[in-house]
Amino acid sequence: MRKKIVAGNWKMNASKAEAVAIIKNFTVLMKKMSHASPFSKVTIIIAPPFIHIDNVAQLVNRKRIKIAAQNCAVVENGAYTGEISASMLKSINTDYVILGHSERRTYFDETNRVLAKKLDIALMHGLIPIYCCGETLDERKAEKQKEIVQKQITEGLFHLSPKEFSKIVIAYEPVWAIGTGVTATSDQAQEMHAFIRSVITTKYGKAVSDSISILYGGSCNSKNAKELFACEDVDGGLVGGASLKADEFFEIIQSFEPSSLR
Ligand code: 13P
């Protein structure tokens, strides 16, 4: 049984006061969820901006809510002004790190090669990478989505040993669906998730590929999550905008088919 995960990527949003308010509202909702609820089995991850991580981590129940960073440095430590290292993140009890988000690829020129190094550093310091992949609208129009995603997966991840690979989470985020209000249909999401799993099977075998959680991201909200999460190869969501609203995020967590949670 694969882990079901809902991760909220706050991106570059929220002042300190706003971050506290989101967490407080979310905590009130979470307290209403009994331990017997099937949804208590969902792994919940919140990825605030670096500057709020420590505060958010101290405000939430860490048994229920895991913390992710949105990026980490490609180097260990030293004279790299403005960067935040994986070891620094670990020292404030960060659990996960999002790597290869399309916004990082596009605006900060992160290549698969750089990301492969970040993956290594994250794993070395005990952070679980959530590795993002996905095609642009032009690439989809040219029917190149599979080729692009295969390249991102192969170049970014396939240097890992099977043991290392088994630790990671993958997020398929079609760039044309991010922040646009246009969600991939459940058919489109399922097709790409199944494709990603087949690429993993070819390299690492079926047991490994069956164990990897693959999240969908891109305008995921409480209205469409149920249909997306019902897809066989969709193991949850990487949620942007909707994760900034506590009630909306809470509803997304409850969008799994209860029988799929054990
Ligand atoms: P939106 O949910 O705002 O489209 O963002 C998705 C995303 O990029 C999550 O990492």
Number of domains in the chain: 1
Give the model's confidence band at 203: pLDDT under 50 very low, under 70 low, under 90 confident, else very high. very high
What's the rounded Cα separation, in Å, for the pair 35 and 250? 15
pLDDT tens-digit series, residues 55-102 = 999 999 999 999 999 999 999 999 999 999 999 999 999 999 999 999
What residues make up the domain containing 129? 5-261
Check whether 28 has a pLDDT greater than 90: yes
Residues 6+ apart with CB under 8 A from 156: 99, 100, 112, 115, 116, 119, 131, 133
What is the average per-residue pLDDT within 244-261?
Answer: 96
What CATH number is given to the structural domain containing 256? 3.20.20.70
pLDDT tens-digit series, residues 163-175 = 999 999 999 999 9
Q: Using DSSP, state whether 24 is helix, strand or coil.
A: helix
What's the rounded Cα separation, in Å, for the pair 217 and 240? 8
Rounded distance from Cα 79 to ligand 1 centre (Å): 32
Check whether 121 has a pLDDT greater than 90: yes
Q: Which atom of ligand 1 lies at the shortest distance from residue 242's CA?
A: 2
What's the rounded Cα separation, in Å, for the pair 188 and 172? 11
What's the rounded Cα separation, in Å, for the pair 221 and 26? 16
State the burial class of residue 141 (Cβ atoms within 10 Å of its Cβ: 0-12, 13-18, 19+): exposed
11, 46, 239, 243: which to mutate for ligand 1, most atoms within 8 A of CB? 239
pLDDT tens-digit series, residues 31-59 = 999 889 999 999 999 999 999 999 999 99
Check whether 254 has a pLDDT greater than 90: yes
What is the average per-residue pLDDT within 191-214?
Answer: 98
pLDDT tens-digit series, residues 139-191 = 999 999 999 999 999 999 999 999 999 999 999 999 999 999 899 999 999 99
Question: Could you please report the per-residue DSSP string of 40-95?
Answer: GGSEEEEE--HHHHHHHHHHS-TTTEEEEES---SSSSSS-TT---HHHHHHTT--
Give the model's confidence band at 1: pLDDT under 50 very low, under 70 low, under 90 confident, else very high. confident
Which two three-digit tokens encode residue 53?
Answer: 């991580």
pTM of the model: 0.98
C-beta 170 within 6 A of ligand 1: no
* Amino acid at site 79: A
Rounded distance from Cα 210 to ligand 1 centre (Å): 25
Check whether 262 has a pLDDT greater than 80: no
Phi/psi for 210 (5° steps) reads: -70, -20
pLDDT at residue 168 in the model: 98
Give the model's confidence band at 11: pLDDT under 50 very low, under 70 low, under 90 confident, else very high. very high
pLDDT tens-digit series, residues 227-240 = 999 999 999 999 99
C-beta 129 within 6 A of ligand 1: no
Nearest to 223 by CA among 242, 245, 246, 236: 242
Which two three-digit tokens encode residue 39?
Answer: 């949804």
Name the one residue in this structure whose structure tokens are 């070819």: 202
* Amino acid at site 225: A
Q: Using DSSP, state whether 132 is helix, strand or coil.
A: strand
Give the residues across from 46 on adjacent strands: 8, 67
